Chain A
Amino acid sequence: MPTVHDWINSPLGIVDGLFGKTQHERSFFFWFFQVPSLNDVPLHYLKPNSLVKFRCMVQDMFDPEFFMGVYEMNDPTSNSKQVKCGKYKDITEGGVDFNSRNTVTSERQTFYCVPIPGESQWNSFAGTSQARVVPSTSYVPNRHKRSYEEDDEMDTQPQQMKDESHGNIEPKRQETEAPSHDSSPSHCTSSLDLNFPLPGEKGPACLVKVYEDWDSFKLNDMLEVFGILSVDPALSVIADEREASSLLDPTEGMETVEEQKVHSPPASLVPRLHMLYAQPLVHNNPLLPSSVSENNGNYLSSVLGELASIRAELLTYLTHVLLGDSLAAEYLILHLISNVYSRQDVLPLGKFTLNLSGCPHSSPFTEHLYKVIQQLVPSSYRLCMSLHNMNNQRMVPRKDYTANRLLSGTLQLANNTSLFLDETQLEQGQLDATGVRNITALGNLISWQKVDYDFNYHQMEFSCNINVLITSEGRSLLPSDCQVHLRPTLNPPNLEEYLSAVQVAQVPSQLNKYRIYLSVARAVNYTISDEITKAVEEDFVEMRKDDPQSMSAEDLHRLLDVARLLSLSHGQNTLSRDGWMKAKQLEALRISRTPQQKCVNGNEP
């Protein structure tokens, strides 16, 4: 029986061993937590052909390839033949008998995977805490440094490895500071564009080879892949040779140079990962068991116990952050736990785009607010809607037919990523064609939770599930489900100092509670009883009777969304009469705040 160490250090040996016995692969069992993660351990600390895991998002899907699933080798020393399994590896050494009758051609699929875009710093650290016991690497993670220092666990960790990493590796893997959030159009500093959706992202990209059931994976899926790492330098050499030979005879190479660059990049930059097993991730919050929705019974009940108190604390915290506005804080909580839970035809249900208006222009407020949110959610991205960004950033992914790949854009995000749109950064000026397209794409994202990827000859819709928060001075130019006008009750003399102080006051254990709370509340199943359904219907008709202008079908939609999220935030899985009334009160309070400017020059709300 192979041990854990064997699995991690030489999985291929085990595969071969199993193959020798049974002549076909078996299902494998893993000791998840001890497997080193590509997300946290730099590539050069990992042994080639060892077992690794990779928490990632499927960014692109390449065309399938055929390979020799079973092949025969001539052993020149003993002059005997050996049947070998061709799975989970890219290359073989020694003479392959191409005419062997034992050769079996199989098919596999390649996915281009990148780390989950916008993963928060706290997220990656929490994930590695258990991986440190790996005996074969003495590495202590020190990656993913963002533009600002955070008072978190990480600063206590030694940075001993920093100097070692300079020798033989590319600038890509150096621990340079990412440029701050003003995003430049070039996504990557290296000559090879690794195609990360968000600017300034780092971390390995991987070619994940999938051996079975590949149609069950979708683009932008979050996965935790367990597989065998293939980084043999020979791969690049073979690619070079092919390139050279294709120049000799154009009919020979099926790929152009651009395609080769993308599809066979140097393994040192883009390692191959042969998938043994992949766990689809419902969320990427490392503080929770990976599949909350499935076995939520025990876990949820344990969390729900102190839910009320955590909610109250979080509300207080957010109220402080929002300068004493508890209503805005309430809505912010609802926004943070929102989730597209179903689609009815074209209509996404459960989305709750919040427009926080009344944010001061050009002040550190929005930046700090984003930092607070970043600390609370597993992945997020702040998009400054400056004219420059709108006109220059590639937001919508586009198919590049020359290189035959999907060029990523900032809107290619995994489920439940918090997208923070900062409209306070917008100034007057001219939007060019790209800018108009980007604004349209943002609008479609908010209204339909869909992004139309550009395939040149046609557009293709990809559903998404992104939590959009817009901060603006007046009402946002983008549509939103709900607008809350910020009404500060505090006026600290030094805003920056105040906001930093509020943030620092939260101890990590407290933050972890919030993080768990937000993920759990989102995962609660929710129903509405027939009795309440009836009551709601009657209530709607009654409200319309009083004043039809005040209550449209759209308003009912929103009210039901608010009621749902409010119930969830209290850990209730069904709507109560009380919950409905509370939701109505909350909405009434919110509407009373926003001046009725709904129909200015015919703009829809």
Chain B
Amino acid sequence: ITKMDLMEQGANPNAGQTIKDELAGKCQKLFQAFLEEFQNSDGEVKYLRDAEELIRPERNTLVVSFTDLEGFNQELATAIQEEFYRLYPFLCRAVRNFARDHGEVPISKEFYVAFQDLPTRHKIRELTVVKVGSLVRISGQVVRTHPVHPELVSGTFLCLDCQGVIKDVEQQFKYTQPSICRNPVCNNRRRFLLDTNKSKFIDFQKVRVQETQAELPRGSIPRSLEVILRAEAVESAQAGDKCDFIGSLIVVPDVSQLSTPGVRAESSSRTAGVQGYENEGLRGLKALGVRELSYKLAFLACHVAPTNPRFGGKEIRDEEQSAESIKKQMTVQEWEKVFEMSQDKNLYHNLCTSLFPTIHGNDEVKRGILLMLFGGVPKTTMEGTSLRGDINVCVVGDPSTAKSQFLKHVEEFSPRAVYTSGKASSAAGLTAAVVRDEESHEFVIEAGALMLADNGVCCIDEFDKMEMRDQVAIHEAMEQQTISITKAGVKATLNARTSILAAANPVGGRYDRSKSLKQNINLTAPIMSRFDLFFILVDDCNEVTDYAIARRIVDLHSRIENSVERVYSLDEIRRYLLFARQFKPKISKESEEFIVEQYKRLRQRDGSGVTKSAWRITVRQLESLIRLSESMARMHCCDEVQPKHVKEAFRLLNKSIIRVETPDINLDQEEEEAMEEEEDDNQMNGHDAPNGVNGDVNGEVNGHEHTNGINGHGVNGESAKPSLRLSFAEYKRISNLLVLHLRRAEEAEDETALTKSEVVNWYLKEIESEIDSEMELINKKAMIEKIIYRLVHYDYILIELTQSGLKGSAESSGTESQEKDVTLVCFAYIVLSCFVKCCQSVMSM
């Protein structure tokens, strides 16, 4: 409303030319007072030193914090914010006076003011007519810069008729000659010569900014805006940068026409100048008064700064950021949400489900990807070698097992993610290419997907389809986090600090369990070792998961409205991620020992050949373990890596390095699982599913392999009571034997089924020849009992029958069934071959 009043008031040309702008004059005084008096926390006059700096010839702009101004004089701050364009020359004058008072500056030197820390920020889309002339902050991506050139701000003219000198003809975006020679007897209106030596110039640069993606409504083309930079603000923005601009919206041409009246009122000479221009420009249609009704917009910026990361401007992990600074940039509600999330007991699970709401199951993959997003802490050793903090994940799986969906989700979610296909991209497309510019014929470096994802995630689908030499090309990027190219005389090393999320298909189209991971995918060992985590998705049949899949899919198809439910919105997660990534957790003494112990265990196991790993355990796995632990600690916003973080990291890592296809059977498993359940009760292990651990849809590496290392039992009690383990092949052989025997018995004598003790005895008799000592006999007996227990309770191959009849396998408690002598029967419909198959599938899950 005030604006309208002012518009109208100033719209009267007569009033405008005579009345001095009183408000402006007052503001100038107040602003000068602010500069003289405002003190920082140490009691020094804050802007004094800055003003003294202005003596240097290359300096001319005083940067003032708007927050300071608000604290000093709220009214003045409001006036400046609302009437910025009108007051600007006066504020600059105040700076000039201030500088002159405190230093020897040339009389003719012009000074400028720039504001920073403007609290409110507007979207480019919000710059409407009402914003013209007021001080606003916008952020945008610089898409084009023009060269800097001098702009005439105040011209000195020589009258070609009377040789009189006309000084201080103010210019505003337009070359403006005096309307008439000031010599009263000279009537020259046209022929003037600009005296460049006596005129004042200012650096001037035009850049174009474009709406950032975060602000853009879906389906619209981003708006762009010309920004005019002057004085010290020039050359501070490069194409591609995301910057904040503080200044005001103006309209061109005819700035005087729509600008706030104060400016025009104050400088009568300028108004005259504009009219002179109009007169001079009389030609063609304009003479008939035909004119356009439209104006262009431009933004006159006094201050430029890199964009605040909250708006997706800066990189998600900028070294200069700290958790504290991120917190400061959030609103109260946003911060409360982040805090609430950090306190969430179920955070791990909730984040996973919120990130991938349309993907059923596959919890381990989700966890792995989540940890990848949090990332480890990059380090530099004393020798100067840098160790990456990025976590690389590879998902290998049968066709149609939601691999691409994982990648697509991450691309969608992550602010700096690039999705590309290994099949479609050559090495150049992934890393970087030297291309010859069609117009200038110059060689330029074209960024590849990896560089585009610098400080983000590079999702590569069909990773295995990449040619071998291309795999080598990205090898460097994965470990060194740089890309070097030497081509056509161009040599460059470019940053590619990116996590890689890759999806690969198994060699034969389907994952072959009888082969190792390495045999299953077409990747070289060096590349494979660069991945911290491997996940294997196998399409398996299982009634419960099948139902879940069916429900999910039918649901998607039958409901029109969006049926996606999330605990946290993606924006909330992004903010949380940004905050949590500022933590640089240190490894505690306790955790360090724990890590060493786990690593040693892995090495020993690897060396002894008891467990066959997908590859040899090397120091790379140790690095991975540390990175994953750090990431885990980050997720919980901890400054210290605690053993529980290491534990989960180890669990995930273990899944990916154990040979998935023939995992060892741990017969003491149910005890361990019970313990585990107690320990991390807020971590959903899928125990709610009737068949326990294999509740995941596609049966990734999951479930039974809670290997001994992780839990308390493994740590303190291992030497005392070694867990019973046997290889998968052995387990399969024995179970086949048992089933065969049972079936034969069933066929032969229908009425009297075998009791458990009979079966055990039969088995021991079978292997009589192999048993040497009594000790061994006891061991074997214990083992066969465990096997039967497992066949009953985990694999559902056998059914226990007590006197009362059929006993539900799922609800029986172990102790009870072991004490009574129960009758064992096979599931009637299970034929041997099917058993083997099912068994396999269960094993691998």
Contacts and interface: CB of A to CB of B under 8 A. Distances in A.
Contacts of A457: 141, 143, 239-240
Interface string B108-145: 00000000000000000100110010000000010110
Given A433-B429, A537-B550, A537-B551, A91 B252 contact: no
Nearest to B241: A457
B399 A100 contact: no
Interface in A115-158: none
Nearest to A406: B221
A238 B549 CA distance: 65
Interface string A337-352: 0000110111101000
Interface string A591-605: 000000011111111
Nearest to A450: B408
B240 A344 contact: no
B400 A439 contact: no
15 contacts: A66-B129, A98-B257, A99-B13, A251-B204, A252-B173, A254-B206, A344-B562, A345-B409, A440-B420, A463-B219, A533-B554, A540-B546, A557-B557, A602-B505, A603-B505
A105 B213 contact: no
B754 to A, nearest CB: 28
Interface string B397-420: 001111011001100100000001
A105 B258 CA distance: 8
B460 interface: no
Given A63-B224, A436-B425, A544-B546, A238 B290 contact: yes
B405 A92 contact: no
A245 B252 CA distance: 14
A544 B541 contact: yes
A553 B577 CA distance: 32
B405 A346 contact: yes
A456 B293 contact: no
A194 to B, nearest CB: 17
A90 B294 contact: yes
A71 B295 CA distance: 14
A66 B400 contact: no
B563 to A, nearest CB: 7
B18 interface: no
Contact of B297 (A64, A345, A437): A64
Contact of A344 (B141, B257, B452, B563): B563
A106 interface: yes
B144 A401 contact: yes
Given A219-B219, A457-B240, A458-B213, A604 B539 contact: no
B3 to A, nearest CB: 11
A93 B543 CA distance: 79
A106 B144 CA distance: 28
Given A96-B289, A254-B252, A436-B426, A64 B223 contact: yes
B288 interface: yes
B416 to A, nearest CB: 9
Interface centre among B254, B400, B426 (most CB of A within 10 A): B400
Contact of A65 (B296, B404, B506, B550): B296
Contact of B221 (A61, A402, A440): A61
Given A63-B223, A347-B405, A560-B554, 20 more contacts: A105-B129, A105-B295, A241-B283, A254-B296, A255-B296, A342-B560, A344-B358, A401-B208, A460-B222, A528-B558, A536-B550, A541-B546, A548-B539, A554-B399, A556-B554, A598-B509, A602-B465, A602-B507, A603-B509, A604-B505
A95 B289 contact: yes
A230 B465 CA distance: 55
Contacts of B175: 248-249, 251-252
Contacts of A440: 420-421, 424-425
A544 B13 CA distance: 85
Contacts of B218: 218, 463
A396 B8 CA distance: 50
A166 interface: no
A601 B551 CA distance: 32
Contact of B553 (A67, A443, A557): A557
A425 B275 CA distance: 66
B648 to A, nearest CB: 27
Contacts of B400: 552-555, 604-605
B272 interface: no
| A-B interface, 7 closest residue pairs, ranked by CB to CB distance from nearest | A599-B509, A218-B219, A548-B541, A554-B400, A528-B558, A602-B505, A537-B550
A455 interface: yes
A599 B510 contact: yes
A107 interface: yes
Nearest to B505: A602
A103 B52 CA distance: 45
B129 to A, nearest CB: 5
Given A218-B220, A527-B558, A564-B557, A540 B550 contact: yes
B424 A560 contact: no
Interface in A549-605: 549, 552-557, 560-561, 564, 598-605
Interface string B220-233: 11111110000000
Interface string A351-371: 000000000000000000000
B251 interface: yes
B774 interface: no
Contacts of A345: 357-358, 409, 412, 564
B620 interface: no
Contacts of A245: 281
Interface in B10-66: 11-13
Given A63-B223, A349-B556, A436-B425, A91 B291 contact: yes
A447 B403 CA distance: 13
A600 B505 CA distance: 11
Contacts of B465: 602
B827 interface: no
B219 A462 contact: yes
Q: Is the interface of A mostly helix, strand, loop or mixed?
A: mixed
A92 B293 contact: yes
Contacts of A552: 399-400, 539
Contacts of A436: 424-426, 429
Given A93-B290, A457-B240, A443 B421 contact: yes
Interface in B519-559: 522, 539-541, 543, 546-547, 549-551, 553-558
Given A341-B560, A604-B505, A238 B292 contact: yes
Nearest to B261: A99
B103 interface: no
A94 to B, nearest CB: 5
A67 B509 contact: no
Contacts of A439: 424
Contact of A604 (B281, B357, B399): B399
A601 B409 CA distance: 26
A344 B399 contact: no
A601 B506 CA distance: 9
Nearest to B129: A105
B293 A71 contact: yes
Contacts of B540: 548
Interface string B272-305: 0000000001011110111111111110000000
A448 interface: yes
Nearest to A248: B175
B509 A528 contact: no
A344 B562 CA distance: 6
Given A61-B220, A251-B173, A436-B426, A66 B291 contact: no
Interface centre among B217, B219, B295, B426 (most CB of A within 10 A): B219
A67 to B, nearest CB: 4
Contact of A553 (B7, B222, B357, B549): B549
A192 interface: no
A510 B743 CA distance: 68
A599 B508 contact: yes
A455 B11 contact: no
A92 to B, nearest CB: 6
B427 to A, nearest CB: 12
